[in-house]
Structure 1
């Protein structure tokens, strides 16, 4: 069976989460695809614009789209907004959780980047962590389980940032915490100019090892029906281990896909 339009969009723009979503119950899968696509559009708000104000305008557009769906107003004519509207209207996605995802992206528009490690962690928990929590809620997880999912999702966000330093640098962006960079004698401008710097490489290895240690002590008990929301942490663990060993991010391989599939079939991460 060919994927739906929103499923095809999710697969094209976020293949990691698309693979994970395949382990959601069939009746919830379209809503998870819409959530993946929505998250992609939010992530693009800053990278696809030339200045922070333009990014804020894009984010507000999505806030308005969510609020209109909540209020029962007609869906916007947009390939992602329309299926998102349908999922909200059907009660499959929570509007408050979606607004929180938009709000978390505001931090990316601040001049000077994320100033502290505390702000960085809050951003990870609100963005990638917020996606996993929202997906978990859509899949029937209770509030306590959603907080477990938030922590697991934040680990996937950390791995994504560490894997994408060079890609962000090519966009003129640095999402690493400024205070942590300073402790290694680095500034965001240096990272954007020389993403292959040795001191930066040492910092990335250090942060990856810390992420792995945090995961080792994290709760991973989520309801079987919500396993799709937890599966990104399988990839996070593998990515962080690679980076901690000093390997480049590389692309996704068969081993990654098999690891996600095995965890999904066992309902354990």
Structure 2
């Protein structure tokens, strides 16, 4: 793949900040990729709201800003001057992205800022990564029947990514695991739940059109990430292993075949 600096606009942004979903998006039809890059960039900005804020209130203010971006675009307003907000607003006004799905993603991130009342990890992932996978599928014409399965595999990918990054999150003072639980056993329990979701979603997506398979490709990475958590020697404090050739080839093989 070319270096990030060789890619224009949101393509370079998506590759830099979310290389997993960027790779998956390359197996979408060329005419849909710019819309997917805008969706990936929007999701990154929502995630970054928490990372860049020192306290929950500041994160909520950032999320409110993105809520207003979506609402203004849906109402036909002028886009805000921002490298992501501008293309995102264009995609909304042109009917390429569904405002309701984007607002649901904002709400999912807002729920993460509710402190001790925050929903469990799997529920939070359904409201973020699960909705994003479903919206990706809608962009690619997956059809309503595919939405439950896409939400399942998207949720599994979100769980796998979170467990893969436990050491990074701990360094940021964040712990997504249930309180007062043994970290390794809690992570392994979540990994088993994630694999069950991935398997159920994958079975229900057996008839997914090839043009929409990019929406389901994160399932390939979810399966690998969750399997690593269940490996005998894995520990919550392990640094996340960089994506290797095996991960990329597994995604590419499924993408080229047009099925999981």
Question: Residue in 1 aligned with 2:56?
Answer: 52
Matches within 5 A, 1:199-238: 199-218=182-201, 219-221=204-206, 222-238=208-224
Match of 1:134 in 2: 135
Matched, 1:81 2:85: yes
1:57-68 equivalence runs, <5 A: 57-68=61-72
Higher mean C-alpha displacement, 204-213 vs 89-98: 204-213
For 1:76 and 1:242, the matched residues in 2 are separated by: 42
Matched, 1:175 2:176: yes
Call closer, same or farther: CA 1:214–1:85 in 2, change over 3 Å: closer
With normalisation by structure 1, the TM-score equals 0.87
The CA deviation at 1:155 is 0.1
- SS of the residue corresponding to residue 252 of structure 1 reads coil
Alignment correspondent of 1:120: 121
In the alignment, the residues of structure 1 paired with residue 215 and residue 50 of structure 2 have an alpha-carbon distance, to the nearest angstrom, of: 25
Aligned pair partner of 2:229 in 222, 240, 243: 243
Does residue 260 of the first structure (1) align with residue 251 of the second (2)? yes
Tell me how far apart the structure 2 counterparts of residues 86 and 147 of structure 1 sit (CA, whole Å): 28
Separation in structure 2 between the aligned mates of residue 169 and residue 97 of structure 1, nearest angstrom: 30
Please tell me whether the aligned partners of residues 113 and 175 of structure 1 are also in contact (alpha carbons under 8 angstroms). no
CA distance in 2, matches of 1:27, 1:151: 26
1:182-232: CA deviations, max 9, x gaps?
Answer: 3x3xxxxxxxxxxxxxx3223323322332234334323322221111101
**Deviations 1:138-185 (Å, cap 9, x if unpaired)?**
111222212210110000000011111111111111222x3xx43x3x
Q: Size of the alignment, in residue pairs?
A: 248
Give how far 1:87 is off. 1.0
What is the TM-score of this pair, normalised by structure 2?
0.90
Deviations 1:63-114 (Å, cap 9, x if unpaired)? 1101111111111110100111111122111111111111111111112263
1:109 aligns to what SS in structure 2?
Answer: coil
Contact 1:125 1:153 in 2 (8 A): yes
Task: Could you list the structure 1 runs, at least 4 aligned residues long, displaced by more than 6 angstroms after superposition.
Answer: none
Unmatched tracts of structure 1, length 5 or more: 185-198
CA distance in 2, matches of 1:61, 1:114: 21
